[in-house]
Amino acid sequence: MDGPARGTTLDPGARSDLRPEHARVDAKRRKIVWDDGKRLSIEQSVERIHAAHPDVPRDQIESHVCGWLESCAPDSYSERQLEELDRLTGPWLADYERKSAAASK
Is the predicted pLDDT of residue 12 greater than 70, yes or no?
Answer: no
Can you tell me whether residue 40 is helix, strand or coil?
strand
In angstroms, what CA-CA distances link 45 with 10, 15, 41? 16, 16, 6
Q: Helix 42-52 and helix 58-70: axis angle, to 10°?
A: 130
pLDDT of res. 72: 86
Long-range contacts of 21-24 (CB under 8 A, 24+ apart): 21/68, 23/72
Is the predicted pLDDT of residue 98 greater than 90, yes or no?
Answer: yes
pLDDT of res. 51: 94
d(CA 77, CA 10): 29
pLDDT of res. 15: 52
Per-residue model confidence as pLDDT tens digits over 69-89: 998 888 899 999 999 999 999
d(CA 23, CA 54): 21
d(CA 72, CA 82): 10
Task: Find the mean pLDDT for residues 5-33.
Answer: 66
The residue with greater pLDDT, 67 or 5, is 67
Per-residue model confidence as pLDDT tens digits over 33-66: 999 999 999 999 999 999 999 999 999 999 999 9
